[in-house]
Amino acid sequence: MGCLNFSPSKTSAPSLLLLLFCITNIAEAFNFTTISFDEGFSHLFGDGNLVRSPDGQNVRLLLDRYTGSGFISSSMYNHGFFSALIKLPADYTAGICVAFYTSNADVFEKTHDELDFEFLGNVAGKPWRFQTNLYGNGSTSRGREERYRLWFDPSKEFHRYSILWTARNIIFYIDEVPIREVIRKEEMGGDYPSKPMALYATIWDASNWATNGGKVKADYKFAPFVSDYKHLVLEGCPVDPIQIFPFSACYESDSRIANKDYSAVTPSRRAAMRRFRQRYMYYSYCYDTVRYPVPPPECVIDQDEQRRFKDTGRLKFGGSHKGQKRRSRRRDRNPVSEDPDI
């Protein structure tokens, strides 16, 4: 589905590469069951700013000068595949954050787990960028951000964004391209998410950090900012989060998920992931030696890839400019050592 509007940028890849992306997408489309909003979700915040279609299949989240909005899965899941087709707000979106993530911060305030897609708005004419991140057992002082551009305009069409979380690995997908895989390492300890999480979708004003490190703010002249969701997927093991571990009842669900096609990083998917990361990743905590003199244990240092990054974890060429400003994060997280977007 990413093929139709795969709009190459100036530094376009050869068309063969585009073709490969498309073939990969078509040949390996995921097999899952979509659910309506009411079957799996409830309104989280933002009064009238969550709008459902009459059939409950489409959900719209709005941000205006009074409030953002969000929804949450009605259950928490011990492992799972969390996914939606999402269309992001168009035009001027500086200062806006659209987040699609799993978390259990409401239940485990000090020891929460989290897996994030965070889309960062931009001034009109400049593309959306986004980051992925993870926390485990309250590891908020150890951010694991990677930042990227996209190979399409996410405000034009719906694209599928998915998070796979198993006991063994975590995969972030865009359409059928795995863009990041974190393989659990014993040394990560509690930093690897291990407790049941709910799925969240939110839109909110992140003027203090989302765009150029907070230099460009949300402008409500362009409100409301509209984000659309459909074909929601929640495949996992619903559990009561304060039940006693281990969740033995999840054995069947875990093995069902392990056998799904979205759990298999085939050679062609791995190649697509590599191409994506070569072309679109512009910051990685694994190469940010200013911040982490010793890369966290799950980092797989690719020497070729590393050569393209400075010791601040930012690309040496392209995608970044001068500037030293730090950005503050929601929930007092440790900022990346230099804002990669300035």
Q: Which residues are catalytic?
A: 114, 118
- Which residue of this chain has its Cβ atom nearest to ligand NAG in the complex? 190
Shortest approach of ligand NAG to residue 229 CB, angstroms? Answer: 22
- Residue count of the chain, please give it: 342
Shortest approach of ligand NAG to residue 23 CB, angstroms? Answer: 18
Site pattern 84..113 for ligand NAG (x: CB under 6 A): ---------------------------x--
Q: Which is nearer to ligand NAG, 32 or 292 (CB)?
A: 32
* Cα–Cα distance measured from residue 233 to residue 155, given in angstroms and rounded to the nearest whole number: 21
DSSP classification of residue 234:
E
- Position 56 contacts ligand NAG (CB under 6 A): no
With CB under 6 A as the contact rule, the residue among 189, 297, 318, 323 that binds ligand NAG is 189
- Position 318 contacts ligand NAG (CB under 6 A): no
Shortest approach of ligand NAG to residue 165 CB, angstroms? Answer: 16
With CB under 6 A as the contact rule, the residue among 25, 58, 69, 137 that binds ligand NAG is 137
What would the two tokens of residue 168 be?
């063994």
User: How many residues in the shown chain lie near ligand NAG by CB under 6 A?
Assistant: 5
Note whether 340 and 211 are within 8 A (CB).
no
- Position 31 contacts ligand NAG (CB under 6 A): yes
CA within 13 Å, CB half, 308? 17
Q: For every residue of 99-156, which 3-state class applies, written as one string?
A: EEEEECCCCCCCCCCEEEEEEECCCCCCCCEEEEEEECCCCCCCCCCEEEECCCCCCC
Q: How far is CA 45 from the centre of its chain?
A: 20
- Using omega within 30 degrees of 0 as the cis cutoff, is the peptide bond preceding 224 cis? yes
Shortest approach of ligand NAG to residue 241 CB, angstroms? Answer: 15
DSSP letters spanning 292-315: -SS--TT----HHHHHTB-TTSBB
Q: Which is nearer to ligand NAG, 91 or 187 (CB)?
A: 187
Judged by the rule CB under 6 A, the positions of this chain that interact with ligand NAG are 31, 111, 137, 189-190
